[in-house]
Structure 1
Amino acid sequence: MPVVVRFAPSPTGFLHVGSAHSALANWLVARQSGGRFLLRIEDTDAERNRPELIENVLEMLRWLGLDWDGEPVHQSDRTDDHRRAALTMAEAGTAYWCDCTSDEVQARARERGGPPGYDGHCRDRGLAGGEGTALRFRVPDGRTAWTDLVRGEVGFDNAALEDFVLLRSNGTPVFLLANALDDAHMGITHVIRGEDHVNGTPKYLMILRALGRTEPVAFAHMPLLVNEGRKKLSKRRDDVSVADYRAEGIVPEAMVNYLSLLGWGPPDGVEVRSVAEITELYDIGQVNPSPAFFDRKKLLHVNGEWIRRLPVDDFVARAAGHLPVGDGPLRALVAIAPLVQERVRTLGEVAPMIDFLWLDDPVVDEAAWDKALVRGKAAREVLDAAIDELSSLARDDDGAAWSAESISGAVERVAATAGLVNAEGRPQMSKAQAPIRVAVTGRAVGPPLWESLAALGSSRTLARLTIARERLG
């Protein structure tokens, strides 16, 4: 049987990394088997839906490269079919009408001193449907079980499940009913979704069996994503929006790569690899059901590795979207792009690393200034010697003498002049570089210093060294 899977987002928020994790698993299973990956917008919750977010979800899926087959379908288009199926169950006696309010259900639970929840009060009252009545499913005796591709054998005693609502008192179908019916209607063979849906699966199966509908071939409930405190990722306290990660400068290759590693690992242990390789190797039966730690540091590491794999022109094109508008920033990046590419973890780190090349005055990190220039050994002597050496070196900004190689030699002489030498009398270049770097770029870290000064030009380099020396007094 050809594999048919679906991703069914609800337009009530931005695409969550947990949802993207499930979407990727569906996409991988479909693509590696030559099956179909369908998209269904579950938009039946009129009060919480924000239609404008549908396009955001689609845009994020496109950005991730998770293409779908056919046109997205909308669950709300089948509301009448959902309602008719529920009424069919009412006629067959597998569902019944109930007029209990939520307060009444809770009050009875307190009186009996048992577990909260509905107690079957209306099971045998023979109520007719009408205003103020909800339709509940009559949970049968026995046990409902399935073989989960991720979790193995999973089962629930039906006695532990309350008679659940199919139609609300206002006549609208509940999510669970629509979800199960739409999967059957679309011919879904494998339901791959998050762990939070495990408890709803027995009800899902009961609905399909009561209606004589075809059940999915298999379920796979993906592991819960947790933060470093091992708590479920929450949009209130964690970074969970895929759109936010894109804005930060995560590249899609890295996000897909990293999401694939949550709960699964390639058999050869090589983690940073293309989606084509992942598709070939991925085995949903080898996914670990235990909660998976969404490790931001590892994501940044994987992203840095992918940034370094990009052709330089591609890197520049992608980073350009994270630079300030104007020709200056782009020219500055092009001048030293390969050096920047080797040092950033996100595209968002590019601009702060090289903004000294286009700003009139560098943004000074005061902590770096204090360490390198106020408390730094021989900082004044270094700046004095650097001004002398680089002034004699500079003919003009385009002069042959002003190059990374010649600047390196000049700073070597600066170190010797300032007395920054080791026991063998060799210049200690790192100690000489630190005051110069902070004076010129405003920061203690950045691209290689010689190439940075060569790109900045002699006039601006000497002007910034002079200003720094005057500030020191």
Structure 2
Amino acid sequence: MIRTRFAPSPNGPLHLGHAYAAVVAHDLARARGGEFLLRIEDIDGTRSRPELVPDIIADLEWLGLTWDGPPVFQFSRLDRYAQAADRLKAMGLLYPCQCTRADVLAAAREHGPDGPRYPGTCRGRAVDLEGAAWRLDMAKAVALAGPLEWVDQLAGPQVAMPGQFGDIVLVRKEAPASYHLAATLDDAADGITLVTRGRDLFAASHVHRLLQALLDLPVPTWHHHLLICEADGRKLAKRRGSPALADLRLAGEDGRAMAQALRMDQFPTGLYLGAGLGFEP
């Protein structure tokens, strides 16, 4: 049975980009007699705002979307993240790092999908564990996992190439797990068979496929849909103040009509459906 999910973070109001992602995941599940789950990704340090969760739920209900079972909260899974990190440490695949973002930016000589690629400054060094992040030794992890593949419903079969990310952080200084680790573990725990998300996260699936192999997790199929973009090609974003669904809802707009328009790729003036790659998220 197909099972999808929509997994917003309560660090700002939902906008039309979120609405489109939720509609895609919801409709793929419903069209195949499957299940659609709602997961709240609420472990993003001080950026996570629990008071926004009721608005997220109200926005989705306004769109006419329903989900199976109560919402799942990442914060309830901290032990699971810690256990996975401990397992990777025991395998010799994680090492502590005290470098700041400024340090990485100053030392990086290459770029990966996430930005400046970490040059391995702390790999093999004695590092104070207090407040350290934990990075994946990518070369060692790739060698251990061997060749891997994954499938996207739209792009077809893919050869996993996680090495392009370099030594990514899996346990952050300010959060119990990075997006890569938490999302991979959550999708396995939730029994997700079809991971639906925007095209901007396509490259991340290379890393998630590697983590699935290292942690003996089931392998889903992916569906990376296009993004709603602004006229300049940038995807909609909370940090740039893209119009909030809550504002439309409170103004009396018809949410079900909005959802239907999204299904038909009909967007407000100045917005269009595109890849949205290479721009600030």
- TM class by shorter chain equals 0.7 to 0.9
Question: Identity over the aligned pairs, expressed in percent?
Answer: 38
Q: How far, CA to CA, are the matches of 2:110 and 2:63 in structure 1?
A: 48
Moved more, 242-251 or 191-200: 242-251
2:246 to 243, 248, 256: 243
1:160 to 142, 160, 164: 164
Name the structure where helix makes up a greater proportion of residues. Answer: 1
Q: How far, CA to CA, are the matches of 1:194 and 1:5 in structure 2?
A: 14
Say how many residue pairs are matched: 263
How far the C-alpha of 1:132 sits from its partner, in A, is: 3.4
Q: Show the counterpart of 2:18.
A: 19
2:259 to 245, 256, 259: 256
Answer yes or no: is 1:210 the counterpart of 2:214.
Answer: yes
Higher-Rg member (1/2): 1
Q: What are the residue-to-residue correspondences of 1:293-442 with 2, within 5 Å?
A: 294-296=267-269
Q: How far, CA to CA, are the matches of 1:75 and 1:30 in structure 2?
A: 22
How far the C-alpha of 1:229 sits from its partner, in A, is: 4.1
Structure 1 unaligned regions, length at least 5 = 263-292, 300-473
Q: Show the counterpart of 2:194.
A: 190
Contact 2:229 2:271 in 1 (8 A): no
Q: How far, CA to CA, are the matches of 1:50 and 1:102 in structure 2?
A: 24
Q: Show the counterpart of 1:201.
A: 205
SS of aligned partner of 1:47: helix
Q: How far, CA to CA, are the matches of 2:270 and 2:176 in structure 1?
A: 44
Q: How far, CA to CA, are the matches of 1:68 and 1:122 in structure 2?
A: 44
Q: Show the counterpart of 2:40.
A: 41
Deviations 1:358-393 (A, max 9, x none): xxxxxxxxxxxxxxxxxxxxxxxxxxxxxxxxxxxx
Q: How far, CA to CA, are the matches of 2:158 and 2:105 in structure 1?
A: 30
Q: Show the counterpart of 1:415.
A: none
Q: How far, CA to CA, are the matches of 1:59 and 1:119 in structure 2?
A: 44
Q: Which amino acid aligns with 2:225?
A: M
Q: Which amino acid aligns with 1:149?
A: Q
Q: Show the counterpart of 2:77.
A: 78
Q: Show the counterpart of 1:150.
A: 154
Q: Show the counterpart of 1:225.
A: 228
Q: How far, CA to CA, are the matches of 2:104 and 2:90 in structure 1?
A: 25
Name the structure where strand makes up a greater proportion of residues. Answer: 2
Q: How far, CA to CA, are the matches of 2:83 and 2:239 in structure 1?
A: 39
Contact 2:197 2:224 in 1 (8 A): yes
**Inter-CA distance 10–104: structure 2 relative to 1 (3 Å threshold):** closer
Q: How far, CA to CA, are the matches of 1:30 and 1:70 in structure 2?
A: 14
Q: How far, CA to CA, are the matches of 1:52 and 1:238 in structure 2?
A: 18
SS of aligned partner of 2:129: coil
**Inter-CA distance 104–257: structure 2 relative to 1 (3 Å threshold):** closer
SS of aligned partner of 1:96: strand
Contact 1:144 1:158 in 2 (8 A): no
Deviations 1:418-469 (A, max 9, x none): xxxxxxxxxxxxxxxxxxxxxxxxxxxxxxxxxxxxxxxxxxxxxxxxxxxx
Structure 2 unaligned regions, length at least 5 = 273-281
Give the RMSD, CA atoms, in angstroms: 2.7
Q: Which amino acid aligns with 1:211?
A: L
Q: How far, CA to CA, are the matches of 2:190 and 2:226 in structure 1?
A: 25
What TM-score comes out, normalization by structure 1 length?
0.51
How far the C-alpha of 1:144 sits from its partner, in A, is: 5.4
